[in-house]
Amino acid sequence: MDLEGRDTLVTEARDLLAGMESTLLELETLGHSDERINAIFRAAHTIKGSAGLFGLVNIERFTQRLENVLERVREGHDQVDAALMTVLLRASDYIGKLVDAIEAGLENEEPDAALRDELLAALDQRLTGAVMPAPHKPAEPARETALLHVSLRFDPTTLERGYCPTDFILHLGELGELAYVITLTSALPERARFVPSTLYFAFEVGLVSTATPADVEACFALIRELVTLRTFGASQLSDVHRALAPAHPRQAQRLKEELERLGTPLEDVPVYAPAALGHTAAPAGPFLPDADPATSIAAPRAQAARTVFPSAKQKNADERRAPEQRIVKVDATRLDQLINLVGELVIASEGARNTVSSGKRAEDVFEAMSKVSQLVELIRDRALHMRMTPIGEVFQRFPRVVRDVSRELGKQIALEISGAEAELDKSMVERLADPLTHIVRNAIDHGIEPVDERIRAGKSPEGQLRLHAYHESGCIVVQVSDDGRGLDPERLRAKAVERGLIAVDAVLSESECHDLIFAPGFSTAAQVTNLSGRGVGMDVVKRNVESLRGDVEIDSRLGEGTCFTIRLPLTLAIIDGFQVEVAGTTFVIPLDMVVECVDMRDVSGPQRILNLRDEPLPYLRLRDVFRLDASAAVRESLVVVSYAHQRVGLVVDRLLGNSQAVIKPLGEIFRRLHGVSSSTILGDGSVALILDVPSLISAATASGHKEGPARAGAMTAEARP
């Protein structure tokens, strides 16, 4: 399978699986409807179909079984009860695993054999245990395994048409066990006439299985017109051998050896299961004529061919695994808009060139240029937009998570999702999934109380869990809130002391107590459950979110519930920036975070707090923060920035104005440096650093906490000696 086909298949299958899962959950909560059953059936059927096209037998065969069960439900012979629901959900998980394996280039490996067996057994039980026999799969009496010999003559154009005979032979092997594959090479022309895309080989295959000749034919259904196929039962093998011997002495010899190895020497061929084989076995008539019997030259080549196939396949798989190619689905209208704009840009730039070359006035040139740059900006926005994905893509997995976790814990939980249409960068959506899942699981496990406890507390027995997303000043905010028992600051404190995370006499505010759950190695669950409480998790959540330049906040009231707020930038690629200069160095502040710019008048004195329209505003002097050249500029300016409802002033030497900034990462060497998040390249080719406003704000407020807790509005004040 080529790379593109693989990616498309993986993306499509994942979409279908997600759809199937949500329909299953709807089926469970909203009840049976033909439409839903059909939707599920269609999803399974499409997955099976595309897997079959690519010869992915793992998926195809499994999904076939699933489809059989669904078929029965669709025809009213069976019903989706709780047991079947569980099987179906787990089956969709299992197909997900198979899809993951395909993405990794490991489609020939079984990701979870135990689960597969278990699910297949459950599905089979569903098929056979029901009152009426399944329409497509009549119950078969147990049959003995038998040797079936299959002669395969492919059309020479098989390869040209994109089919690989080995795939089909391997597919055949799925029915049982391939005892031998003998390649007939006499059709190979001499080197000068050899055409690489022509298939010269014929195959003699031995299959030990319970399959009937009809099953064998079904394996080749896709290329029915390209293959001539004969099956022979064990009793006819002597005839096969006789027919083979004159033109293919080596292969006939090999067949004889293989049969001896299998314990069925040609002289006394026993009858394995004559009843099953007798009726369809073709007479051991003449084989399709092979070309000139140049076997003596061809034989060594055949040897080579046999060994080359698997290794070439292996290599292919390795190559595929290396570069991860991703597919982004883009709304067609968005693409059209972008292309229209590019068209306009081409015209505008042509116009600008004319204006310049015809020696027009400076104003005209400026006008033309501004038109071009306006278009560039629009195109930038649209291009970035194409990477945007609704956060619903992450949210859609939670109904399932909540269902599974709440069942496991015996809690009743209603999940409410809102703001699923809020968009953010595709890469962020993917990386947000893990931290969010953890928070949700945590909320169900620790936050929401068991039913009896809720009733005692006067709450409705059903816990409320809410996922909410919205945009706020260049960020996306994701909230996970529950109406559970809330975080108990005293308990958290005690636990932290017990774990040696804080000193016994440490003075912590309530929110600082809450933040303790982000400390590595902290866990308050009295008993370690399957879901959480292993003390790994919340610290990882925080780290993950911070690696996306975001942060996590907790708001909790004891007995009323907890709300986790994750704040993330919308994209990691391009921002609108505001340039400032400090000590001769240019810095860029993300424009979304800039509130206003103010002239600094009196900045002397120890107090680092400014009266801004009668509001106290703490400020940082970047010159000091970054330990730059100490001599201050004569006149300084103040940029007021805001992030997560906090405002801080940044004192700079000069304001340079707006610009677009293509974000360039600074790299690992500067990973642990705070205050600067990344860099960008300015119009003159020099590098400017982008300020990390959140870390600057938290630095300002944290030092405020530490040094002046007694002050009024401690958060906003910081005293410096």
Partner 1 sequence: MSALAQRSLDGAHTTGHYLTVVSGGELFAVSISRIREVIHCPRITRVPLCPEVVPGVINLRGAVVPLVDLAIRLGRRGTELTRRACIVVVEAEFDEGMRPVGVLVDAVEEAIETTDDMLEARPAFGAGLRQEFQAAMLHHEGRFVSVLELSAVLSVTELEGLVATHALAPGAARTKHV
What is the contact surface with partner 1 in residues (CB under 8 A)?
585, 620, 624-628, 664-676, 679, 681, 685-689, 695-696, 698-699, 702-703, 706
Work out how close the CB of 545 gets to partner 1 at its nearest, in angstroms, rounded to a whole number: 14
Task: Judge whether 620 and 700 are in contact, CB under 8 Å.
Answer: yes
Question: In the complex, what is the shortest distance from the CB of residue 668 to partner 1, in angstroms, rounded to a whole number?
Answer: 5
Shortest Cβ 636–partner 1 spacing (Å): 17
The amino acid that residue 466 corresponds to is: R
Output 164 or 603, the one with its CB closest to partner 1.
603
Smallest Cα–Cα separation from 272: which of 316, 221, 209? 209
For residue 150, give both structure tokens: 């299959």
Output the smallest distance, CB 569 to partner 1, in A.
18
- Tell the smallest beta-carbon distance from residue 608 to partner 1 (Å): 11
Q: Which is nearer to partner 1, 276 or 572 (CB)?
A: 572
For the record, the structure tokens of 611 come out as 């009266």
267 versus 668: smaller Cβ distance to partner 1? 668
- For residue 324, the minimal CB distance to partner 1 (Å) is 12
Q: 363 or 668, CB closer to partner 1?
A: 668
Residue 667 buriedness (CB in 10 A; 0-12 / 13-18 / 19+):
exposed
CB 485 → partner 1: shortest distance, Å?
Answer: 29
| Number of neighbours of residue 594 by Cβ within 10 angstroms | 21
- Secondary structure (3-state) at 434: helix
Taking the C-alpha atoms of residue 197 and residue 190, their distance in angstroms, rounded to an integer, is 15
Beta carbons within 8 Å of 296's beta carbon, 6+ residues apart: none
Distance of closest approach, residue 686 Cβ to partner 1, in angstroms: 5
Closest CA to 640 of 660, 656, 620, 661: 620
- Annotate 462-527 with DSSP letters as a single string: SEEEEEEEEEETTEEEEEEEE-S----HHHHHHHHHHTTSS-TT----HHHHHHGGGSTT----SS
- Residue 322, judged by CB atoms within 10 A of its CB (0-12, 13-18, 19+), counts as exposed
Which residue, 23 or 679, has its beta carbon nearer to partner 1?
679
Residue pair 643/593 in contact by the 8 Å Cβ criterion: yes
**Smallest gap, in angstroms, from Cβ of residue 589 to partner 1?**
14
Nearer to partner 1 by Cβ, of 230 and 608: the residue is 608
- C-alpha count within 13 angstroms, C-beta hemisphere, residue 284: 15
Q: Using CA atoms in the order 483, 485, 490, 491, what is the torsion angle rounded to 10 degrees?
A: -130
Q: What's the min distance (Å) between Cβ of 322 and partner 1?
A: 12
Round to whole Å and give the CA distance between 149 and 180: 9
User: Rounded CA gap, 132 and 139, in Å?
Assistant: 10
Contacts of 196 (CB under 8 A, 6+ apart): none
Please write down the HEC assignment for all residues of 8-68. HHHHHHHHHHHHHHHHHHHHHHHCCCHHHHHHHHHHHHHHHHHHHHCCCHHHHHHHHHHHH
Shortest spacing between CB 377 and partner 1, in angstroms: 19
Q: Rounded to the nearest whole angstrom, what is the least distance from the CB of residue 698 to partner 1 in the complex? A: 6
Bridge partners of 456, per DSSP, are none
Q: Residues, the chain, total?
A: 721
Distance in Å, CB of 684 to partner 1, minimum: 9
Tell me what percent of the chain is helix, strand and coil, each rounded to the nearest 5: 45, 20, 35
Distance (Å, whole) CA 23 – CA 40: 7
DSSP alpha helix (H) spans, 322-421 = 332-357, 362-386, 392-395, 398-409
* Residue with Cβ nearer partner 1 (193 or 672): 672
- By beta-carbon proximity to partner 1, the closer residue of 197 and 547 is 547
Q: Which lies closer to partner 1 via its Cβ, residue 138 or residue 667?
A: 667
Residue 53 or 702: the one with the smaller Cβ distance to partner 1 is 702
What are residue 666's phi and psi, to 5 degrees? -85, -20
Cβ distance to partner 1 smaller for residue 249 or 675: 675
Give 414 or 714: the residue with its C-beta nearer to partner 1: 714
Of 447 and 704, nearer to partner 1 (C-beta) is 704
Closest CB 50 distance from partner 1, rounded Å: 33
Comparison of 40 and 688: residue with beta carbon closer to partner 1: 688
DSSP annotation of 290: P
